Structure 1
Amino acid sequence: MNEDAQAALGILAQQIRMAGNNPDQPNRVGNANPALSSLRNPVYGTTSLTLAGTNTTSQLSMRGCDGTFTNINSTNTTTTGIDALTCVAGGTNTVPDSIAVSYEADRFNTIPTGGTSSLPTDCLGNKLPVVTATVSTIVAGTASSADVTYTVADNRYYIGTASVANVVTPSLYCKGNGGASVQMPMVENIETLQLRYGTVSTASTATTATVAGYLHATEVLTETSMALLANDAERWAKVATVRICVLVRSENPVAPNAASAQYTDCAGNLVDNPPDLRLRRAYTTTVVLRNRRL
């Protein structure tokens, strides 16, 4: 259980820290208007910059659901990117949560494919599609337009179940946007994923931001001050930390009786009527969004 919890929290924490990664690039032209600047590759909100083919920029680097995304397993990740994900209606805090993260991926923050032309990969090791964009550059003091290529990871995490030898096993699943990517379990015996989002005041700036409190995913959109913001992208941009809790169970029933199988869930409630004689324990960690940009 400890090893499963460590694996699950390690994966989620690493991925959530990467959310919004979009570093400044060399030889780029800046602009006082961030929407027109090409210091960074056009990944988030830079609609004025031209992308080749069907690729589009995203307004979000992270979003979550109290429950599951209705289209989390869409086979068309080009049109169903993180912006187009939708939550199951009436999601509650008593069912497993889901989270999607997006970031500019490279050979160093993902596990690259093998060979001389190694490429970044999604959460399941599938090669990511290459994005081409036209940006303004300065080379040897001369400004010009140039085509650049890069990759963007769009990974969605949730709790799913698989039946092996007639035994239903809950697991932490991931669905990435790599080529031919399908949803796959990553860590078994993870029964529940619960997420709380630490948000800053809607009046905060980059130098004054402090976490004002923790909200569920639905509350990020509906809390009184958050609801006043213009759109969901601005609301999720106010999230500065994520508190992760996973409820892990033992692989087999090992408790001698129901009293020994009691446990405390992610909400801090004592569950004194466990469904079986497996041991269960909640594990938590809190992650700071290092790449968050106000």
Structure 2
Amino acid sequence: MTGIASPKRLLASIHDVGSGSEAAVLRLAELLERRLGGPHFAMLVVPDHWGRHPLSQDRRFQARLRNWADSGIEMFVHGWFHKDDAENGGGQHRGTARFKARHMTAGEGEFLGLDEATALSRMLDGKALVEDVTGRPAAGFVAPAWLYGDGARAALRKAGLPIVEDHWRVWSAESDTTLAKGPVITWASRSTARTASSLAFAALARRALPMMETVRVAVHPGDVTKASLMASIDKTLKRFAATHTPSKYQDLCDSMAER
């Protein structure tokens, strides 16, 4: 309907969800539930993190994922291995992809250099596994480190995973319609310098982004290793939950359909 302002939304997500990160994910989920007033966030599931934690073989963690999904948490497919083959002996990136692989992630841009066929196969396998485990359709796909190569972008149009996001936007995979714009607020734990810069950006975001229609916050298992990061996450969630409604990614699609 025209004349009605769109609600301000807060989209929160836990990345790198798998049996190998279970303890950290539990801590993050407890924090998000407390600050968001319930299970109003998404989980990004890695089917076999670095080839060491196959979800298909962990029945206990499968049951936990199903319980989370039953509670209303959206489940996204988050790559397959979360490991960049090119950066780990499987080839070499060139041009812009090489810069992204070296400076925007630590060997985890799995879908940055994949050809379309390989990317589509991993997306479809991940979708089938997540849906079998949770008993619900997967909400969408997010590439590890939010990095997509040309092959991955082409595969997205065929994979049947409705919602996609990167660092700067959320969009419909089928139509390429932008559903939300703006930077995602996230934190880094792997070095002192990256931690400091992520804390500074989060502080800036708390001041600069409240006017945005949609604010995105993404947390990772490594965040629980530093008290400063957990405090910043808590403060950021509290700040935006006061002005933005904790929402599902699907709400963006529903809102777009109503316009």
TM-score where L is the length of structure 2: 0.29
| Bigger-Rg structure (1/2) | 1
TM-score where L is the length of structure 1: 0.27
- Structure ranking higher on relative contact order (CA contacts 8 Å, 6+ apart): 2
More helix by share: 2
More strand by share: 1
